[in-house]
């Protein structure tokens, strides 16, 4: 059993769903989050409210699933990110699970 954690900008939410489906990951949870990057201060002056640092609309997904499905997901994700022309690729981590209840 493994846990997979995936983060992405909101625009790629449907792509993550497709990748999960192709990898056979049918059960997962998700949440809306704000994503942040450390940007140079000059970018803050370009906004209407330069003292405010807003986050990008993002998503976080996680699933407890079999190792083979995680391996397949990572293969599909690497292919997707290579074809995608973005500065915000879909990110994922695999976490081993030692004990479950």
What confidence tens digit (pLDDT) does each residue in 18-66 have? 999 999 999 999 999 988 877 655 455 555 555 555 678 899 999 999 9
- Residue 93's region, left for phi above 0, alpha for psi from -120 to 50, else beta, is beta
Fold of 2-96: Alpha-Beta Plaits (3.30.70)
pLDDT at 6 over 70: yes
- Residue 87's region, left for phi above 0, alpha for psi from -120 to 50, else beta, is alpha
Domain parsing of the chain, residue ranges: 2-96
Among residues 53, 36, 35, 31, the alpha carbon closest in space to that of 44 is found at 53
Scored b (16 or more CB within 10 A) or e, 53-92 reads: eeeeebbebbbebeeebbebbbebbeebeeeeeeeebbeb
What confidence tens digit (pLDDT) does each residue in 79-96 have? 999 999 888 899 999 999
User: Is the pTM above the cut of 0.95?
Assistant: no
């Amino acid at each position: 059993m493994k846990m997979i954690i995936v983060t992405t900008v909101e625009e790629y939410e449907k792509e993550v769903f497709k990748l999960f489906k192709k990898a056979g990951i049918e059960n997962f949870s998700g949440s809306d989050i704000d994503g942040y990057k450390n940007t140079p201060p000059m970018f803050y002056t370009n906004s209407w409210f330069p003292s405010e640092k807003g986050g990008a609309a993002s998503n976080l997904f996680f699933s407890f699933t079999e190792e083979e499905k995680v391996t397949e997901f990572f293969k599909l994700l690497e292919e997707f990110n290579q074809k995608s022309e973005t500065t915000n690729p879909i990110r994922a981590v695999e976490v081993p699970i030692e004990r479950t209840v």
